[in-house]
Amino acid sequence: MNNLPDETKKRFVAVLNKKMDVGRTVNVLGHMSVGLSNLLTPDDAVYVDYTDRDNNIYSGVSHYPFIVLKADNSNKIRKVREEAITRGITFTVFVDTMIVGGSIVQQSKTRETPELDLNYLGICLFGETEVIREITKKFSLYG
């Protein structure tokens, strides 16, 4: 009936700085998720539609798992970013300079800030499950 790939082969993983309040956390996760989906090709991720018994359709739900983890601090997220770059993993990040003002102000503030001075609030990755697990195994589930 369906020709879906094995859903255990790939995954989305977000690692969020646990020092944020709930509102900021949800905002950061939303921004990173939308940004990451924009970086993916149609061959990367797989989305499925669900239909209930009344024929209502719930479209575009990820076939692959989306796991949300927490990090103790910015430096732990920085290390995940470095590892993602090294391994060629598709990712997006959100840093503290992306909070105040509109995107033009945020871009300017980010451009003026050395990387080591950035406070990483989150990273969102997509890729092969085993590779992602290797660099995120030290984090616990968010909750």
Domains and CATH numbers, the chain: 10-141 (3.40.1490.10)
pLDDT in tens, 14-36: 999 999 999 999 999 999 999 99
User: Crossing angle, helix 129-136 and helix 74-87, to 10 degrees?
Assistant: 150
Residue labelled with tokens 């451009």: 111
Structure tokens at 49: 């539609």
pLDDT in tens, 59-90: 999 999 999 999 999 999 999 999 999 999 99
Q: What is the pLDDT of residue 113?
A: 97
Chain centroid to CA 11: 10
pLDDT in tens, 80-125: 999 999 999 999 999 999 998 999 999 999 999 999 999 999 999 9
Residue labelled with tokens 């909070």: 99
Strands 10-17, 66-71: pairing kind: parallel
